[in-house]
Amino acid sequence: MSSEAERKTVCVTGGNGYVASALIKMLLEKGYAINTTVRDPSNPEKVAGFKAMEKLGPLKVFRANLEDEGSFDEAVAGCHYAFLVAAPVYDKSHKSDDLELEIVQGGVQGTLNVMRSCARAGTVKRVIFTSSTAAVSSRRPLEGDGHVLDESCWSDIEYLRSMEKLSPTQAYSISKVLSEREATKFAEENGLSLVTLCPVVTVGKSPAVRVDTSVPACLSLITGDEQMLNILKGIERASGWSMPIVHIDDLCAAEIFVAEKESASGRYICGSLNTTVTEIAGFLANKYPQYNVRCDCLDESHPEKPTISLSSAKLVGEGFEFKYKTLDEMYDDLVAYGRELGLVPN
């Protein structure tokens, strides 16, 4: 057990999700006790990933919904840290057309709802909010290349709202910008310590038994899943023609790093490689000749090299070290996970 953990109880919201389940595993391995939340714990698929993790340490599962005021009170009570990971994200199974209501308003109100539970608990020493670089880099395309974006950059809501119809990626960016701003305001007004992590596109193996977000998108060049390929290309376009990625183990380690480091404050971009979909496709075609890698779906509008890069200099400058820095290191694990989940043929 790490000295920081000393069997402190911490809350991780949305424990069945791709990122949250990996974070829970890492926290348990470090000696923390976990309270986590699931929207529907009676659904066996939503709790299946916890079975193996319960052996690692104390793990309690609570029912909570971001839409219900007070829903997180019980899960957060007595906790030392609260990791806000659950959020309405647009995925393959999405049914509703009202992105403004579900993604934008749902994200903001859900974040505030959990923040209010944290304030009521009176024990939470720090809230770690998982935002996204979707709140950093979605903007009018920049001229030329070599642009570096850091934590001072915000996605341009006015520009995103000026589009004829709100797309899922735009709604997600707006939701993350507004959630970050509202969470910061609430934390200031209520004397809560808040640190925000802005991860780039996250890859690698997690205990989650079902994945709908970055994993199927990043594997779509191999699986050929058209809907996911469009999401992948949409992310690259929305990120200013770049495809920054991070390994999930590095993301979870960064979540814990900014929780435990007392002097941490504000936003932290978390990404270790700035690449492009074209570069990834070339790498995959070379490394996995047995698969029909979809290099054919990329025309000349997709650049070879990223136009902008997202900088994690703040995180690294404060002492964080990324373990996974190359496509080789990151995709090895991702492809193996895809095979386990039945997304990628053996």
Ligand X SMILES: NC(=O)c1ccc[n+]([C@@H]2O[C@H](COP(=O)([O-])OP(=O)(O)OC[C@H]3O[C@@H](n4cnc5c(N)ncnc54)[C@H](OP(=O)(O)O)[C@@H]3O)[C@@H](O)[C@H]2O)c1
Q: How far is the CB of 75 from ligand X (least distance, A)?
A: 11
Q: Which is nearer to ligand X, 46 or 139 (CB)?
A: 46
Contact with ligand X (CB under 6 A) among 10, 11, 12, 14: 14
Q: Which is nearer to ligand X, 83 or 241 (CB)?
A: 83
Residue 294 near residue 226 (C-beta atoms within 8 A): no
Q: Please choose, from the candidates 238, 272, 266, 214, the residue with its C-alpha nearest in 3D space to the C-alpha of residue 155.
A: 238
The torsion region of residue 218 among left (phi > 0), alpha (psi -120 to 50) and beta comes to: alpha
Position of tokens 């996995």? 288
Q: Does residue 244 touch ligand X according to CB under 6 A?
A: no
d(CA 216, CA 227): 10
Exposure class string for 114-132: b at 16+ Cβ within 10 A, else e: bbbbbbebeebebbbbbbb
Q: Which is nearer to ligand X, 7 or 24 (CB)?
A: 24
Contacts (CB under 6 A) with ligand X, residues 98-157: 110, 130, 132
Q: Does residue 306 touch ligand X according to CB under 6 A?
A: no
Phi, psi of 270 (to 5 degrees): -130, 100
Q: Does residue 19 touch ligand X according to CB under 6 A?
A: yes
Query: Applying CB under 6 A, which part among 18-26, 258-266, 326-334, 336-344 lies near ligand X?
Result: 18-26
Q: How far is the CB of 46 from ligand X (least distance, A)?
A: 6
Q: How many H-runs (helices) and E-runs (strands) does the chain carry?
A: 14, 12
Q: Please choose, from the candidates 319, 265, 318, the residue with its C-alpha nearest in 3D space to the C-alpha of residue 127.
A: 265
Contact with ligand X (CB under 6 A) among 5, 12, 16, 281: 16
* Interface mask toward ligand X for 183-222; x: CB under 6 A: ----------------x-xx---------xxx--------
Query: Applying CB under 6 A, which part among 59-67, 224-232, 319-327, 334-342 lies near ligand X?
Result: 59-67
d(CA 134, CA 174): 8
Binding residues vs ligand X (CB under 6 A) = 14, 16-20, 39-40, 46, 65-67, 85-89, 91, 110, 130, 132, 199, 201-202, 212-214
